[in-house]
């Protein structure tokens, strides 16, 4: 039997790290097993589902290069793959359960259910949830209620005794007393919409899903789902609940920790290769050592056995490190193309960069490549080259523990040295700049830092002499002279 797995998100928000990891694990498993990866949109909650979230789902998977074999947009033999297009089907199956005596209609009004809940809370009753009032209605009572035209929901008859067990590939057997399962949960609402549980189980069965890989937060729903499979007389699939993704503080990864939506990562300039690689290492490992995998390699080597049982910790720094590695694997030409949109956004170059603009970017790329952690870093690194930088403030020109007169002297001595750029070798110039530090008995940084701030407006810039070469001697000298004036005015 060939493996069929699915990613079944609810389009209620932007795709985030946790969801995407679930998608990737399903996708890799399908590829490694030569099976099928199915995308199913679980939009039964019509109030919370949005077209933007659905579009974000498609965009995210496309950006990552995760192609689905069956699902919306591509079709397949088990469609439709969007739950809101399958409502009739859920109704049919719910009715079938009623006819088979596995489910029943409940006519309780929301007033009655509210009062019940209130009473249970007040009495601190051990019995929480629905009291199964309608489970034992006899035929006469039921038809009387029907005749009144009362709205009804369909509830599952959860067995009143016994236990339910499901097997999880990672966690082993998970058993729950049936009396601990939500008493007779609603399967079909009075408006004819299914609940998540009903739609999810029916679809997994009808779509021939063999393995369910989903977040561990769904474990509590496991017994209920098994009871549903039993009620239908269906064989449940295999379960593999995936450990949570945590922040470094041990809390479930959330916005508190930083960006979690994939589109934010994309906007900052993370590469899909890096995100795929790192996210896959959160909760899965090959041999505990190897850290680099392309998507294609993961499609070969992924296996359920290597998923960690413990929660994975998402480390933003580590992702940044991966991203830097993948950036440096790009050719200078590729990187130039990838950086242009960021420079356009920053207003440094025109939407359709001219040849000279592109040439300038291409010349910048080799000197910043080593320092880029995310593509968006280019904006701060390129500002000095494309924008008029503001006159630096005195404090910004001063290295730690270095006074104004000393810093002024540094810049005055630097000026004639820098003018020689191009006519003597860089090493010679660097040595002469370092000699200023010796002469004035200050740190080397006490020389380089003020030059950098004067010329680039920033303490972090590409290598100094390279930057000046790109900027042009005239502009560099003018900026240096401006800084000298600023310091002179301060001394005077
Ligand atoms: Zn009822």
Q: Which domain holds residue 189?
A: 86-242
At 390 the pLDDT is: 92
pLDDT confidence tier of residue 461, bands split at 50, 70 and 90: confident
CA gap 373, 378 in Å, rounded: 9
Q: Which of 193, 217, 242 is the last residue of a domain?
A: 242
Q: What is the 8-class DSSP label of residue 37?
A: E
At 460 the pLDDT is: 78
Closest CA to 199 of 39, 49, 83: 83
423 alpha carbon to ligand 1 midpoint, in Å? 91
pLDDT confidence tier of residue 95, bands split at 50, 70 and 90: very high
Burial of 483 (0-12, 13-18, 19+ CB in 10 A): buried
Query: Could you tell me the CATH number of the domain that includes residue 353?
Result: 1.10.8.70
137 alpha carbon to ligand 1 midpoint, in Å? 9
Q: Evaluate if residue 438 carries a pLDDT over 90.
A: yes
At 168 the pLDDT is: 96
Q: Is residue 15 domain-shared with residue 139, that is, in the same domain?
A: no
| Spacing of C-alpha 62 from chain mean position | 14
80 upstream amide cis, omega within 30 of 0: yes
CA gap 75, 411 in Å, rounded: 68
- Residue at 323 is within a domain: no
At 125 the pLDDT is: 84
269 alpha carbon to ligand 1 midpoint, in Å? 54
187 alpha carbon to ligand 1 midpoint, in Å? 13
98 alpha carbon to ligand 1 midpoint, in Å? 14
What percentage of the chain carries pLDDT values higher than 70? 100
Q: Is residue 225 domain-shared with residue 211, that is, in the same domain?
A: yes
User: DSSP for 88-132?
Assistant: HHHHHHHHHHHHTTSEEEE---HHHHHHHHHHHHHTT-S--S---
At 492 the pLDDT is: 81
- Residue at 271 is within a domain: yes
At 222 the pLDDT is: 96
104 alpha carbon to ligand 1 midpoint, in Å? 9
198 alpha carbon to ligand 1 midpoint, in Å? 18
Across the range 357-365, mean pLDDT stands at 95
CB 486 within 8 A of CB 394: yes
pLDDT digits (tens, 9 = 90+) for 24-68: 999 999 999 999 999 999 999 989 999 999 999 999 999 999 999
Across the range 405-434, mean pLDDT stands at 96
44 alpha carbon to ligand 1 midpoint, in Å? 22
140 alpha carbon to ligand 1 midpoint, in Å? 15
Question: Residues within 5 Å of ion ligand 1 by Cβ?
Answer: 106, 108, 133-134
87 alpha carbon to ligand 1 midpoint, in Å? 23
230 alpha carbon to ligand 1 midpoint, in Å? 23
Q: Is residue 70 domain-shared with residue 192, that is, in the same domain?
A: no
At 481 the pLDDT is: 97
Quick check: helix, strand or coil at residue 420? coil
Q: Around 433, how many Cα atoms within 13 Å sit in the side-chain half-sphere?
A: 25
134 alpha carbon to ligand 1 midpoint, in Å? 4
CB 239 within 8 A of CB 222: yes
Do you know the residue count of the chain?
Answer: 492
At 258 the pLDDT is: 87
Q: Which of 318, 352, 376 is the last residue of a domain?
A: 318
Burial of 321 (0-12, 13-18, 19+ CB in 10 A): middle
CA gap 335, 327 in Å, rounded: 8
Q: Evaluate if residue 126 carries a pLDDT over 90.
A: no
Total domains present in the chain: 4
Q: Is residue 194 domain-shared with residue 226, that is, in the same domain?
A: yes
pLDDT digits (tens, 9 = 90+) for 266-325: 999 999 999 999 999 999 999 989 999 999 999 999 999 999 999 999 999 999 999 999
- Residue at 90 is within a domain: yes
Quick check: helix, strand or coil at residue 367? helix
Task: Take residue 178 and report the two structure tokens written for it.
Answer: 């049936």
Q: Is residue 23 domain-shared with residue 60, that is, in the same domain?
A: yes
- Residue at 463 is within a domain: yes
- Residue at 225 is within a domain: yes
Q: Is residue 260 domain-shared with residue 367, that is, in the same domain?
A: no
- Residue at 453 is within a domain: yes
pLDDT confidence tier of residue 491, bands split at 50, 70 and 90: confident
pLDDT digits (tens, 9 = 90+) for 223-264: 999 999 999 999 999 999 999 999 999 899 988 898 899 999
At 401 the pLDDT is: 93
Across the range 206-230, mean pLDDT stands at 97
At 459 the pLDDT is: 85
At 127 the pLDDT is: 82
**Catalytic residue IDs:** 255
Q: Which of 216, 242, 268 is the last residue of a domain?
A: 242
CB 72 within 8 A of CB 39: yes
Q: Is residue 465 domain-shared with residue 343, that is, in the same domain?
A: no
CB 6 within 8 A of CB 213: no
Q: Is residue 288 domain-shared with residue 351, that is, in the same domain?
A: no
At 440 the pLDDT is: 96
Q: Is residue 270 domain-shared with residue 412, that is, in the same domain?
A: no
Sheet strands side by side (includes 186-188)? 103-106, 153-156, 186-188
Q: Which long-range contacts does 42-45 make (Cβ < 8 Å, 24+ apart)?
A: 42/8, 42/9, 42/10, 42/83, 42/196, 42/199, 42/200, 43/10, 43/11, 43/82, 43/83, 43/84, 44/10, 44/83, 44/84, 44/193, 44/194, 44/195, 44/196, 44/199, 45/10, 45/12, 45/196
133 alpha carbon to ligand 1 midpoint, in Å? 5
Write the CB contacts of 246 (distance below 8 Å, at least 6 apart in sequence): 252, 253, 311, 312, 313, 314
Task: Take residue 33 and report the two structure tokens written for it.
Answer: 């097993």
- Residue at 325 is within a domain: no
Q: Is residue 93 domain-shared with residue 237, that is, in the same domain?
A: yes
Q: Is residue 32 domain-shared with residue 45, that is, in the same domain?
A: yes
Angle, helices 464-471 vs 378-386, to 10°: value is 50
Query: Could you tell me the CATH number of the domain that includes residue 29?
Result: 3.40.50.620
Query: Could you tell me the CATH number of the domain that includes residue 439?
Result: 1.10.10.350
At 259 the pLDDT is: 86
Q: Evaluate if residue 152 carries a pLDDT over 90.
A: yes
Q: Evaluate if residue 1 carries a pLDDT over 90.
A: no
Quick check: helix, strand or coil at residue 7? strand
Per-chain mean pLDDT for the chain: 95
Q: Is residue 92 domain-shared with residue 227, that is, in the same domain?
A: yes
- Residue at 150 is within a domain: yes
pTM: 0.92
Q: Evaluate if residue 220 carries a pLDDT over 90.
A: yes
190 alpha carbon to ligand 1 midpoint, in Å? 12
* SS3 of 442-460: CCCHHHHHHHHHHHHCCCC
pLDDT confidence tier of residue 392, bands split at 50, 70 and 90: very high
């Amino acid at each position: 039997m060939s493996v069929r797995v699915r990613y079944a998100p609810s389009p209620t928000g932007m795709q985030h790290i946790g969801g995407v990891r679930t998608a990737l694990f399903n996708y890799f498993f399908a590829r490694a097993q030569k099976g099928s990866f199915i995308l199913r949109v679980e939009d039964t909650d019509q109030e919370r589902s949005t077209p933007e979230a659905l579009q974000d789902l498609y965009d995210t998977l496309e950006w990552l290069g995760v192609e689905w074999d069956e699902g919306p947009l591509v079709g397949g033999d088990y469609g439709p793959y969007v739950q809101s297009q399958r409502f009739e089907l859920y109704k049919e199956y719910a009715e079938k359960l009623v006819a088979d005596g596995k489910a029943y209609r409940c006519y309780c009004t929301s007033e009655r259910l509210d009062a019940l809940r209130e009473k249970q809370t007040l009495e601190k009753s051990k019995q929480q949830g629905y009291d199964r009032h309608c489970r034992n209605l006899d035929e006469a009572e039921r038809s009387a209620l029907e005749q009144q035209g009362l709205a009804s929901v369909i509830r599952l008859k959860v067995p009143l005794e016994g236990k339910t067990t499901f097997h999880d590939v990672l966690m082993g057997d998970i058993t729950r007393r049936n009396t601990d399962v939500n008493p007779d949960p609603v399967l079909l609402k009075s408006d004819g919409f299914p609940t998540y549980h009903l739609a999810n189980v029916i679809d997994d069965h009808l779509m021939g899903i063999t393995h369910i890989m989903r977040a561990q937060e769904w474990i509590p729903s496991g017994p209920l789902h098994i009871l549903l499979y039993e009620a239908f007389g269906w064989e449940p699939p295999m379960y593999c609940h995936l450990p949570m993704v945590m922040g470094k503080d041990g809390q479930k990864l959330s916005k508190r920790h930083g960006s979690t939506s994939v589109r934010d990562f994309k906007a900052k300039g993370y590469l899909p290769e890096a995100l795929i690689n790192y996210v896959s290492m959160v909760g899965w490992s090959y041999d505990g050592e190897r850290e680099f995998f392309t998507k294609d390699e993961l499609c070969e080597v992924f296996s359920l056995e290597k998923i960690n049982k413990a929660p994975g910790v998402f480390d933003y720094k580590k992702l940044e490190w991966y991203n830097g590695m993948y950036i440096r694997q790009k050719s200078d030409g590729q990187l130039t193309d990838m950086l242009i949109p960021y420079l356009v956004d920053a207003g440094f170059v025109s939407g359709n960069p001219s040849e000279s603009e592109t040439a300038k970017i291409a010349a910048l790329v080799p000197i910043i490549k080593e320092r880029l952690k995310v593509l968006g870093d280019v904006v701060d690194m390129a500002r000095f080259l494309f924008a008029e930088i503001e006159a630096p403030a005195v404090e910004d020109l001063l290295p730690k523990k270095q006074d104004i007169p000393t810093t002024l002297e540094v810049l005055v001595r630097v000026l004639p040295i820098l003018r020689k750029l191009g006519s003597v070798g860089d090493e010679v110039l660097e040595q002469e700049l370092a000699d200023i530090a010796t002469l004035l008995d200050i740190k080397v940084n006490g020389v380089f830092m003020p030059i950098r701030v004067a010329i680039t407006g920033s303490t972090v810039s590409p290598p100094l002499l390279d930057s000046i070469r790109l900027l042009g001697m005239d502009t560099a000298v003018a900026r240096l002279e401006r800084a000298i004036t600023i310091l002179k005015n301060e001394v005077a």
